[in-house]
Structure 1
Amino acid sequence: MAYLRVSTEQQGGSSLGLEAQRNYIAQAAAAKGWQVLGEFMDTMSGTIAPTQRPECLKAIRAAEDAGALLVVAKLDRLSRDVEHIAAMVKRVPFKVATMPDADAFQLHIYAALAQQEREFIAGRTKDALQRLKSRAASGDAEAQAKIDRRSAGRAMAHSRGPLAATRAAQVKANLYAESVDSIFKAALFDGMKSLREVANWLNMKGYKTPRGGAFTPIAVSRTMKRLGLSFNT
């Protein structure tokens, strides 16, 4: 099963990004004798866990049902987070087209090294920005101009960001609701007649909210609305 991911709607509409991923997968499939049984694609940030992306979940389930591999063009199409990669290694066999002979252990190592490098880069960027601010504070006009351009760019990105962040949050909430559907139905089946009773029932049985906290009537209400449940069903 082929899985592709792009981070934005613009990238999703760009044949270059998607076609490059498809080409990597096609070349690996031809070299290794794989047959691509299906293709799934998410337009979503790589910071979101693979198992919280709708199309990735479908790809995983399709691969499991078919007893097939999940194949991505590059490791970062699954995730840039080593914990996400470790979880995927446990969940489903997968291969990376750009390094098709790498086993699960090697992929885990590559992910760890990539994350370490990103942390180094973030540290260097932070230090460079601090030096730039110091130069600007001492009257360096060029440094001040660079800071102004950076601030303008961040402001523009922020103005576009809330919609994407909201979409990601909605997807995450919907996936969580789907995962606890049977649990909430069991609470109603056990005769819970109010939001407070359902919250108490869930807490007594040790269930947690998506953030790992205890259930409140408000949290119960939100999840029931997503599931289309009511005390009359």
Structure 2
Amino acid sequence: MNKPVRVIAYYRVSTKSQGDSGLGLDSQKEYIERAALANNWEVVGSFTDVVSGKLAIEDRPEGAKALEACKKEGAVLAVAKLDRLSRSVHHIARLMEQTSFKVATMPDATPFQLHLFAALAEQERKFISDRTKDTLATLKANADSGIAKAMQSVQNRADALAKGRTDANRAKAQESVQARVSAFAASLHDPIELCIRRGATSLQQVAECLNGKKVVTARGGEWSAMQVSRVMRTLGLTFA
């Protein structure tokens, strides 16, 4: 049997709540554990940062330690996904000059391929950002013309009469609800993707997988195929 590849596992979550709750972190650990078993990796150390991906890894407290450990142990840096290292193609390119690294979701990728994936991901994020700005600009134009504003005013008055709330409070409540819904959906991306990678090929199988992992719905209940379908559609996840 070939000598195992020594790796230093590096995990990153963006917020303290994610770090405390394990949302995202458990999924990253499972990615690396599965990749280690499949590719003969020996995990000789691990580091976890709770920090924004906008910072280069060498500027993160635990990231800097992980790089130093790679040098000391003669090991390769390993992450669950490329964006755990950085969302910047510039940072990825600079890191390639400092150390070797592996990505659990594409363990056989060459440095050139990883650089290409980083560039494509950065470009896609720019496209999404531009589309979002265009959509907001269109909505603002409609509001300025009085169309959206008039419709919202009617709805707000109806809500205020029915709920006993002011227009301003109702708008704030709607924004708060939408933010919670979006954050909850985003937290489900890795668990659902892991279920699919484990072999789930139907919505019901994904629901059973999530229930087996004790991942609950927004209301604290168990998942159904229909609920999984809505979330996968929101996240753009497929079985392909």
**Paired residue for 1:20?**
27
Task: Pick the aligned partner of 2:41 from 34, 39, 51.
Answer: 34
What is the distance in 2 between the residues matched to 1:79 and 1:65?
23
What is the distance in 2 between the residues matched to 1:79 and 1:116?
14
The CA deviation string for residues 44-77 of structure 1, in whole angstroms up to 9 with x for no partner, is 0000111100101111110111111100000000
Query: Normalization by structure 1: what TM-score?
Result: 0.62
The CA deviation string for residues 70-122 of structure 1, in whole angstroms up to 9 with x for no partner, is 00000000000000000111111000000000011110000000000011111
Per the TM alignment, residue 138 of structure 1 is displaced from its structure 2 partner at its CA by 1.5
Per the TM alignment, residue 39 of structure 1 is displaced from its structure 2 partner at its CA by 0.8
**Paired residue for 1:167?**
none
The CA deviation string for residues 126-178 of structure 1, in whole angstroms up to 9 with x for no partner, is 100000001111222356889x669966xx9xxxxxxxxxxxxxxxxxxxxxx
Identity %: 52
Q: Secondary structure at the match of 2:102?
A: strand
**Paired residue for 1:7?**
14
Task: Pick the aligned partner of 2:144 from 114, 137, 144.
Answer: 137
The 5 Å alignment of 1:32-71 reads: 32-71=39-78
Q: Secondary structure at the match of 2:75?
A: coil
Structure 1: stretches of 5+ with no match in the other structure: 157-233
What is the distance in 2 between the residues matched to 1:133 and 1:38?
51
The 5 Å alignment of 1:1-233 reads: 1-139=8-146, 140-141=148-149, 142=151
The Cα RMSD (Å) is: 2.3
What is the distance in 2 between the residues matched to 1:152 and 1:34?
45
Q: Secondary structure at the match of 1:37?
A: strand
How many residues align? The count is 153
Per the TM alignment, residue 16 of structure 1 is displaced from its structure 2 partner at its CA by 3.2
What is the distance in 1 between the residues matched to 2:172 and 2:128?
21
What is the distance in 2 between the residues matched to 1:16 and 1:79?
19
Structure 2: stretches of 5+ with no match in the other structure: 1-7, 157-170, 180-240
Moved over 4 A (4+): 142-146, 148-153
What is the distance in 1 between the residues matched to 2:57 and 2:15?
16
**Paired residue for 1:196?**
none
Supply the AA of the counterpart residue of 2:137.
Q
Query: Normalization by structure 2: what TM-score?
Result: 0.60
